Each structure stands twice: as structure tokens, then as C-alpha cells.
Amino acid sequence: MTRSLRIFLSRAGDRVSLCLTAIALAGMFLLAGCRETDRPAVTVTTVDAQNGVRIASMPAVMVGGFGVGAGQVQSIGPVAVSDDGHLYIADNTQRRITVIAAETGPLPTRSYLPGLANPLVPGDTIHVVRAMEWHGPTLYLVDRARIWAIPRPGGSGAAQARAMEPEGGVADVRDIEVAADGSLYLLSERGIRILSPSGILRDSIVVRGETPPRCVAFSFGPDSNLYISTRSLKEVVVYNRSGQLVKRIGAGTIGGETRGIAVDQFGNVFVRDEKDAAIRAFSADGMYRGKIGARGSGPGQMLSAEQLVLDRGRRVLVVPDPTNYRVQVFDLTGRRAEARDLVTHTPAFERTRRPYHITLGMGVDASTQLQIAWKTTSDATGTMAVYVPLDGAHPSDVDWSAPLVKTARGTSTTFVSNIGPYRAHSVALTALEPGTRYAYRVGDGSSDGWSETNTFSTPPASPDSLVVAILGDSRNRMDVWGNIVNRAAAFDPAFIVTTGDLVSNGEDFTHWDPWFHEADAVFRKTPFMTTPGNHERESPNYYLSFEMPRNAPPGLQEKCFSFDVGQTHWISLNTQVDMASQTAWLEEDLKKTTKPWVFVFLHRPAYAAHASRGDGNQDVRDAWCGLFERYGVDAVWQGHDHYYHRSKPVRGGEIVPVGQGPVYITTGGAGAPLYQMKPNRYTEVGETTDHFCMMTLRGNHCEVVVYRADGSVLDRFAVKDFPRVTAR
């Protein structure tokens, strides 16, 4: 990170500084015993009692924030550092790269990359950034289709970029490294492809292990070997360029799967340990030397990092942490540094009386009832919605003073989040006309407190066809989430069902802002029916963001609920609270419904195929699966495990013929980091990939088509109506 970051690390920050003691309490440590550069090291002040290694505290610099102006980022993607000291952050939410020079702060965001735009829009050239690496004056960037070699921009205008489409494509590429001779090394889950500087395939290396290794990241060492981290091994594997395994590092020390990795010019290895989110440090001979950081959201702590970028000359480690929406910079020499934010913290939505985070939710009878939720600043005390049938008119032509316009008043509550107070509003619309398109707006009734005009459509009471989107586990890869939710919305579903884990930390309001930003246009017109996952943490931020039907007993309202759409009955169950308390309500609800099609959605799966967690959650099976079988639930939509999995029909834990038991579908690929799936006796179809599901019901025929994030078809199957044992 050359001169600019060195200058930055020695300067005082803007009112934000971290003394060594405070940083030590945050769990940030210096690798001791490794060879130093010409910088002086601080006196050793802390002892790691667990490992008996003497280590010193380390400072951190945090980069993060939200916004749409120059230097503001809404999501943290791949990061690269150029030899002139600039930090490049791929912001896949805003479809651009933000460039930061540490001594001057954010630079104007450059548009020299031709595109960085939503891949749904035809004509774009560069889509979502998957990996990037500087090599001299050239930035090598991998998107979903190509490798780009982009010269360093100079002045204004677009630089000429060269695209390469190597044999085998780049859809599976996780990381890229460039050798001294310009050869390109592409890491996929099973190994490495080696390309010439022009993109011609020269050779490949297969990474082997007792289980499929699922490679995550890699780095060249000074010995020219390749140091590789994986999701399946609790150690670093080192291969030479001939594809031979040279050594293993960290066995018995690394507690979880290895993720991001970097190797300095002395052979010291830095690798992120998934178990506690810390970075483990090893000397060149493989000896464990200490850890950097810890799990959490404070300074020096991290929740996710699958990439470590090391400036070998200056001993600076750059750690992008997408879950915490920031980049941290650690000075490995131990020189005390001040910390400040490099990126302006600006919300993705304007914080005024004007509504934001608008969502629609269905009522118990979706053809006649709709609920709307939104947020404002706390001084907007009024809560109302105005709405009117469009009858073919354009929404912009609506006269809100016309006699046909109806007004509904609702309620609001103030909540103090971790970034300050906001007011959450909700209003219920009743006696709507089935099969009708409405225009609406919400607000507090003041001239500057109305939302823009939006639309929604009620489904017919007995629709000829019903289209529903089902997806789950969006969490932290906002570019994937935005792509998937917008692709699903393009099918014009009557509503969207989610299986939970919308964000990584439901208690942190800053996690919700970019999530809403990606789906804002979808949420304003399409009802979003959700069940909470473990990452929502039962937070008010979750429950105040959506208005769900309130037909469960007191204490369970909105934690579980049901609603009817046409010939379908939908039930949401909460696997994150006491399940026994929902069981009596569930059975009564199943008894009462007369709909021929019954679907359940929940978070933790009853039947699944996780490589390390097994074939499902026994507590969910024990609590509810007997009722699903007795009362003819046709399909159970699940999340939590980040892949796609469809079970065979199951009854009493055993495989049964089609039509004699529910099918359990795990859909957890809407943006969360993917997990390894291991097929078992319940598996009909499964794949580890980002995806979403589209269900279409026409008469007595129900078909589901599952799409990958690129629009290709993953699975297609018919759901057979499962008659209940007792009469419906």
C-alpha cells in the first residue's frame, strides 16, 4: 500500500482515534516473531494466554458507509491495492468501483470501467465483480462472463479495456492472481487454471483432499508456491506450480474452515479462521504466532472476510468485511496509527418525513386485504394511506383530491436503533376489490410527507393462474440479492415468499439499508411475505419493517400467521422461538382451511442435506412434520442452509411415493455465502448455487421452476396435491 497508505497510517484521524489499550480490548493483535521491515515495532504489551505467544496490539483503519455520492459505498466487494497506493473497492450494489487515496480521502468515483451495472439491463459489458488484482499498471478484473485487463486510468474518459473469455469460462472463479511473467492464475472450488497473459489455457492444478476442498482464496508466496484456503479443510494447503502438494499449515491450530489468505515477502502466512472470524498468523516455518481481530462488529473485529490483501512492501493488511459493510486496514509493523473513516457514512435513503423502506404484505384474505409498512423520521407522527382503483389510467394521472380516492389511517411507533431513532408506520387496507390494480401513496398527510405514487394489484378471488416467487437467505452479498429479487420480480408474481435470514444482523440498522435499496422498486408493488431466520435475531428492526397477518394468538402475532390466495393456503412458522407454543395454533389452522393446496414456509429445515449439519433439524420434525403429513401440506419451503435441495416425498421420516407425503424444498441461495451440500437418502435434486424458485398454479396443476442467478434452469418439477388423512 505504498506511500499514500503509509502517510495515512501515521496521521491523526478526524476525531476518531484508538489507543493501543482500547484496541487490545477489542482483540486485535500483532504477529510477533516474524521478520520486520524498516519500521520500528511497538513494545510487546499483551500475552495471548491461550497459546502462550507474546503479541502486541494493532491499530485498525475502517472503511465503510452508505450512500450514492463519490466515495460512498453501499456494499463491499473485492478489494485491490494499486502500486500508487490507491484502494479500489468494488461496490456491486452501486455497480461501480470506488477509488480511495488515503492522504486525500475519497477520490471522485470513476466511470472508466465500461458498465459495472445491473446485469438485467441489456448492453452492459462489465457486470458484478467477482475478483480483481493489480499487476503493475493493469487491473485484472473477473466478472460473471470474462476477465478484463484494464489499464490504469489517466485523466477523464474511459480507458480501453481488453476482455478475455478463457476456456471453461469464469463462472466458477473465486480469486485471481497474476504471476511475475503475466500468467493468470484462476482459482475455482476444485483447483487452479493457469492462463497465458493473452488468456490461453496452459495448465491446471487440482486441489485434492479427503472431501471436496471447495477452495476459497489463494496467494503466491515468496517461494513461488501457491497457498490455498478452503471451506472444507481446517488448514492451509500449499502446492507448487507443478501441482504437487508441498506442505500443510495450521492443522490443530485453525478451529474452523479457512477463508481469506495472504502471504508476505518473508513467507509469513495470514489466514482467516471461520470459527472465531479472527485472522491466524503463522511464520514461514509453519509456527503459529498469534491472531488478529475477533468475531464481532467493533473496531478490529470482523464477521466475514474471504479476501485478504497484503501490501508486502509496507506490511499493511487490508481486510474487506462485507457483513460489517467496511474495510479494515491493519498495520503489521506495530506502529501506532490513528483511525478514521475513509468513506462518508451516508444512508441509502433520505432521512426525512418522506416515507422510506416501504413494504406490502397480504392480509388473511389476499384478494380483499393488503397491509403497508414504512419508516420515517420520528417527528412524522401521522400515518395514512390514500388509494384508488386505476381502471386503466396511468399512475401519474391520478388526482388525489378526486371523490373516489379512499383514505385509511394506521398506527406508528418510535424505535431507537443503533444509528438513532426512527418511526415505523403500518396501515391496513380492507374491502379491496379482487383482481384490481390500485394506485396508492403513504405518508403523514403533510405536503412534504407523502411518498411518490406507487401501485399494487389484488389477486382475483379465484385466479385462473397464480404465480409466486420463493427465495431465502439473502444476508450479505447485496449484488446477488439485488440480481435475484429483481429477476424473480420480472415474472410478475402475485407475491414473494422468503424463508428468512434477510440480513446478517437484524439488530444492526445499517444492514437493512442496502438490503432495502436493492429491492425498493419491487417492495413498493409486490407483497413480500416473510418468516424470521436466526440472523434477524427477533429484532424490532425486523418486525417493524413488515406488516404480516395477525391471526395467531396473543404473543405469537406476526411470529406465525396464515393467509389465503385463490385456492392456496399459506402458513408461516417461526423456528427461532418456542415451537411448541405454535403447535396448537398450527393444528387448528390446518383443520379450518378448506383450500385444496396448502404450503408452509419456515427457516430451519426439517429435511435437508448439509455437508456438516446433517439431513435436517430433528426438533422441527418432532414439532410439526406429523401435522404436515396428517393435514395434507403439499410442500414445505425452508431456508437456513445456503444451497438448493428438493427432497423426495417424506412421511414419518421415510421416503414414500409421490402424493403420499410433503416435499421439503430448501431455498437458501439469495445472497448468503453458499454452503456445501451432501446428497443423502432424502435427496431428489440438489445444487450449491445462488437461485430462486417460481411456482405457477393453474387449476389442479402446480409446477415449480428453479432458476440459477444467471437465469438458467436448475430444476423443474410438479407438486402433486397431497390429500389429508382426514376429510378437507
pLDDT, tens digit, 9 for 90 and up, residues 38-73: 222 222 222 222 222 222 333 334 444 443 444 456
Whole-angstrom Cα distance, residue 468 to residue 692?
Answer: 11
Mean local confidence (pLDDT), 372-393: 94
The CATH number given to 347-460 is 2.60.40.380
Residue 17 has pLDDT above 50, yes or no: no
pLDDT of residue 640: 96
> How far, in Å, CA of 97 to CA of 88, rounded?
6
Q: Which residue is associated with the grid cell 423456528?
A: 575
Q: What share of the chain is helix, strand, coil (3-state, %, to 5)?
A: 10, 35, 55
Beta carbons of 238 and 247 less than 8 angstroms apart: yes
pLDDT at 333: 63
DSSP, collapsed to helix, strand or coil, labels residue 386 as strand
> What is the mean pLDDT of the segment spanning 104-119?
36
**Lowest-confidence pick of 106-115, 464-473, 561-570:** 106-115
pLDDT in tens, 259-278: 899 998 888 899 999 888 88
Confidence of residue 125 (pLDDT cuts 50, 70, 90): low
Sheet-wide strand order for 96-101: 79-81, 86-91, 96-101, 105-106
Is domain 2-331 in CATH 2.120.10.30, yes or no? yes
Q: What does the pLDDT average to over 294-310?
A: 77
Q: Which range is least confidently modeled, 290-299, 361-370, 691-700?
A: 290-299
Predicted pLDDT of residue 11: 28
β-partners of residue 466 are: 697
Q: Which residue is it, cell 476442498? A: 213
Which comes out higher in pLDDT, residue 324 or 510?
510
pLDDT at residue 516 in the model:
93
C-alpha cell at 418: 443503533
pLDDT at position 101 is 63
Q: Residue 35, by phi and psi: left (phi above 0), alpha (psi -120 to 50) or beta?
A: beta
Say what the pLDDT of residue 429 is.
Answer: 97
Number of Cβ within 10 Å of residue 54's Cβ equals: 15
Q: Look at the chain and count its residues.
A: 728
Confidence of residue 724 (pLDDT cuts 50, 70, 90): low
Give residue 146's identity as a one-letter amino acid code.
R
Nearest 10 degrees: Cα torsion 76, 77, 83, 85: -10
Which is it for strands 597-601 and 635-638: parallel, antiparallel or unpaired? Answer: parallel
Confidence of residue 103 (pLDDT cuts 50, 70, 90): very low
Strand partners, 686: 645
Q: What DSSP designation does 286 have?
A: S
Q: Residue 639 and residue 644: Cα distance in Å, rounded? A: 9
Give one word for 522, left, alpha or beta, with left for phi > 0 and alpha for psi -120 to 50.
Answer: alpha
pLDDT digits (tens, 9 = 90+) for 626-673: 999 999 999 999 999 999 999 999 999 999 999 899 999 999 999 998
Half-sphere exposure of 35 (CA within 13 A, CB side): 11
> Do 117 and 95 touch, CB atoms closer than 8 A?
yes
CA–CA dist 448, 469 (Å, integer): 35
User: What values do phi and psi take at 344, rounded to 5?
Assistant: -65, 130
Q: 217 pLDDT band (50/70/90 cuts)?
A: very high
* CA–CA gap between residue 359 and residue 528 (Å, rounded): 7
Place of cell 515477502: 265
Domain ranges of the chain: 2-331, 347-460, 462-728
Tens-digit pLDDT profile for residues 602-623: 999 999 999 888 999 999 999 9
For residue 478, the model assigns a pLDDT of 81
CA distance 45 to 54: 8
Least confident of 14-23, 102-111, 690-699: 14-23
257-266: burial string, b at 16+ Cβ within 10 Å, e else = bbbbbbbbee
In contact, 140 and 149? CB cutoff 8 Å? yes
Would the CATH topology of 2-331 be identical to that of 462-728?
no
H/E stretch holding 726 reads none
Looking at every residue in the chain, the average pLDDT score rounds to 81
Above 80 in pLDDT, residue 345? Answer: no
Q: Which residue has the cell 389510467?
A: 393
Higher-confidence position of 499 and 334? 499
Task: Please give the share of the chain, as a percent, with pLDDT higher than 90.
Answer: 52
Find the mean pLDDT for residues 411-417. Answer: 94
Q: What pLDDT is stored for residue 510 in this prediction?
A: 80
- 0.85 exceeded by the pTM? no
| CATH class of the domain at 462-728 | alpha beta
Neighbouring residues of 674: CB distance < 8 A, sequence distance ≥ 6: 642, 643, 688, 689, 690
Structure confidence at residue 418 as a pLDDT band (50, 70, 90)? confident
